[in-house]
Amino acid sequence: MKSYDEHATAQTREIAESTPPDTVNPKVEALVTDLIGRVADKWTMLVLETLDAHRTLRFTALSRLIPGISQKMLTQTLRRMERDGMLSRTVHPVIPPHVDYSLTELGGSLGAAFCGVWIWAEENLSRIETARADFDRRTGIDKGS
């Protein structure tokens, strides 16, 4: 059986090698634009990564495992992801109540799709570093600014 990473890599390569359709459904185009805006932010990606690694977590555990995220931002991110079907929220009727979050199949597949960006970055790291260094030399830009 393939590991998650092997499956995600194979799936990503299949997607990258497929040819785009001749016509674009405006609803799909709008959805892609909307989702890219939401999921490409660092907090959503970190929540995806954290839940993928730990399967199910409570809010406080997520907060602890994602350095720098505020309670407000984590709440907003989790709500958006739940609305989009990326994660499930389970409220346990105990005192005090607690809530568990876990990725849905849809959320897991989004994580797999973003593996393509990781693979691309790995394959092109030295080319990007060279291009940046060349640009910085040409323009006199200090990369620390």
For the segment 87-132, what is each residue's pLDDT rounded down to a tens digit? 999 999 999 989 999 999 999 998 888 777 778 888 999 999 999 9
74 touches 59 (CB < 8 A): yes
Is the pLDDT at 6 greater than 70? The verdict is no
Average pLDDT, the chain: 84
Q: Is the peptide bond before 96 cis (omega within 30 degrees of 0)?
A: yes
Whole-angstrom distance, CA of residue 64 vs CA of residue 74: 11
Is the pLDDT at 52 greater than 80? The verdict is yes
